[in-house]
Amino acid sequence: MPTLNRRFRGTCIDYTHDGKGVFKIDQLPVFVENILVGEEADILITNHRGKYAEGRVENRHTTSPQRETPPCPFYEACGGCQIQHLSYTEQLKMKKSRVAEVLRRMGDYNGKVMDVIPSEIPFQYRNKVQFPFGKNDKGELITGLYRKGTHQIIDIDQCLIEQADTDQIVQAVKSFCIENHLEPYDQKYKKGFLRHVMVRKATATGEVMVVLVTGKVNFPQKHAFVDFLQKQIPQIKTIIQNINPEFTDVVLGYREHILFGPGFIEDMLGGLRFKIAAKSFYQVNPVQTEKLYQKALELANIQATDLVLDAYSGVGTMTLLAAQRAKHVTGVEIVKDAVLNAIENAKANQIRNVSFIEADAAPYMIERTSKGKQYDVVIVDPPRQGCSVEFLNALKIMKPKRFVYVSCEPSSLARDIKILSDLYEVKVVQPVDMFSQTYHVETVASLSLK
């Protein structure tokens, strides 16, 4: 049995879900960062956690042709990206393998997984950045990303997966805060002011939103802040102060003050225009989002006579795109503000064959079924934890002919398709690379009633 500080020489045979290399010693898996399949190395065991161990590379003897030199100077320390040292070809291979393995092991699915739909821009693709504020050892204000596995902030002036101009806007906000002696907020003692800066950019329209998240309401410099940003960022459309005094890792609080503009920006997706508020869910990779949603709608095989239900509909992105193909689409969403945004988006795009319901999808579906109402297709794009058991049971009661599941977490997708496996058959599993340089992978699965 491996012991701490034991050294061994071996060859990496696989990847973990988060991009670490896998070695075997005495049949025990050892997970190691910054190593590629096929590379031989001397490994030092640093942690032993029962069913697996962790280690680090002390000396690499061979180098895979798929190894890349990470272009980001913060890569080794930062936790934002995990697989910049893999070639893009190897990243896609790893993600496909991860989806297939998780679905096999947790979902009892042994069918085909399609090749991952690649990204045209594997760097500088994110249209949203949110950085926390803090201080360095010299007491100077910094903002950036957290050091891997910690809450220690790395002062970052450029993140290579964020769009370049959003980085520049963050630096402008930081310079204003330094000049005006604004202090980071201390959750424990409720002192200070600054918590996060969030920037969202609409790729198609160029409109920019800046959100300053503060621990307190009082912001004496707010007018100077607005004037400064308007001069620095001509394309800025709205500036918001979000107030979050809670002891939490959640970035945005419940209260917000609009300091400038309408409180939202607008973007184009699939030929439609969408209003995006500070709290709106909107995919961060606009180019890949078009591919993701078009693939989902293609797999849904929506006919002109179909009635479609979009559960977890958010601001209505998928709902309105589906409405271009269906007889009628109903979007169900539990968040009131998202429903209001969705209704506005439908009006702005002059789409009338939709309706939006503020409700929990599961009881709504059960009620509709009890009244003899039916949908031909149900589409879901749930949060990372997947669909609730109540929703899946309601789906079984309703029994739509086709079910399309957009997932950002393969393990919850696997769990949910296993729950549905007595009534539904998986037809297609299509991964999409939405988050290049990270281990995250989006997947579209289409299921049909048996």
* String of DSSP letters for 256-308: EEEEESSSEEEEEETTEEEEEETT----S-HHHHHHHHHHHHHHHT--TT-EE
Residue 375, Cα to own-chain centre: how many angstroms?
29
Give the C-alpha separation, 404 to 297, whole Å: 8
Residue from 248, 181, 172 nearest 208 by CA: 172
Same structural domain, 340 and 363: yes
* pTM of the complete model beyond 0.85: yes
Same structural domain, 56 and 171: no
Residue 2 — pLDDT band, cuts 50, 70, 90? low
Q: Is the pLDDT of residue 3 over 90?
A: no
**Is 79 within the bounds of a domain?**
no
**Is 291 within the bounds of a domain?**
yes
Domain enclosing residue 11, as ranges = 7-60
Residues that are catalytic: 408
Domains: count for the chain: 3
Give the C-alpha separation, 316 to 337, whole Å: 12
Q: What is the CATH number of the domain that holds 11?
A: 2.40.50.140
Same structural domain, 315 and 420: yes
Same structural domain, 423 and 372: yes
**Is 81 within the bounds of a domain?**
no
Instruction: List pLDDT tens digits, range 386-403.
Output: 999 999 999 999 999 999
Same structural domain, 299 and 436: yes
**Six-digit token pair at 131?**
């950085």
Residue 339 backbone phi and psi in degrees, to 5: -65, -45
Lowest mean pLDDT among 82-96, 103-117, 140-154, 427-441: 140-154
Q: Is the dihedral of CA 291, 297, 303, 309 positive or negative?
A: negative
Instruction: List pLDDT tens digits, range 85-135.
Output: 999 999 999 999 999 999 999 999 999 999 999 999 999 999 999 999 999
